[in-house]
A = this chain, B = another copy of it.
Amino acid sequence: MAQMVRVHNFNVSSDGYGAGEGQSLERPFGDADATALFSWSGATAHGPTRTEPGGSYGLDDYCTREWHRNVGAEIMGRNKFGPQRGPWENLEWEGWWGAEPPFRTPVFVLTHHVRPSITRGATTFHFLNASPKEALAQALDAADGKDVRIGGGVATVRAFLEADLIDQMHVAVAPVELGRGEQLWTSPDTLTDRFHLERIPSPSGVTHHFFWRK
């Protein structure tokens, strides 16, 4: 099949916020309570933070697993990579994820302040000062025939939506309001001119939103 550009397991509040304000080293999601957005995935058998057997194998686990399937590269914004802003003061920061980042593919970090690539475990981070379209061309090439995941945060997903570069998108909407911060949308219906939209409520409380191009 053709290579796809996909968003998966992107989490927003019922009012469309994916993060609060004031990101810092201690608070990667700013002043928002990220737990309320992510707990559905953490409870699954394939949850990214699971260290022991157990967890659910229902709808939420299907969605959690999909994050990995047939992905050959990721593109993320600099604010997903780290809390720093502006020129790098030094190169000690190598991401939030330690020695074995979960991506296990090339990852392209969009930034106005490029730096040398970093390899940690099976993941290599490349830093690009590029438009969404230019970055995507590189990521599609690096993905070796597999799909490219747009990893976020909110500003990065919005930039790729605005450039009309996304084929499929899974967004889990949590039953909490944040009221302020980084907003993905005022309503998912703002995207239905271009995308099919299926809303599937999960017993966990989130509503999975599946978008695919019309």
Contacts and interface: CB of A to CB of B under 8 A. Distances in A.
Interface of A: 1-2, 45, 53, 56-59, 62-63, 65-66, 69, 168, 196, 198, 200, 202-203, 208, 210, 212
A100 to B, nearest CB: 17
A113 to B, nearest CB: 36
Contacts of A203: 198
12 contacts: A1-B45, A1-B53, A56-B198, A56-B212, A57-B196, A57-B212, A58-B200, A58-B212, A59-B59, A59-B208, A62-B62, A200-B202
A62 B66 contact: yes
B168 A57 contact: yes
Closest 6 CB pairs of A and B: A58-B198, A57-B212, A58-B210, A62-B62, A59-B200, A57-B168
| Number of identical protomers | 2
Contacts of A63: 62
A212 B55 CA distance: 10
Given A45-B212, A65-B69, 17 more contacts: A1-B53, A2-B53, A56-B212, A57-B210, A58-B196, A58-B200, A58-B210, A58-B212, A59-B198, A59-B208, A59-B210, A62-B62, A62-B63, A62-B66, A62-B210, A198-B203, A200-B200
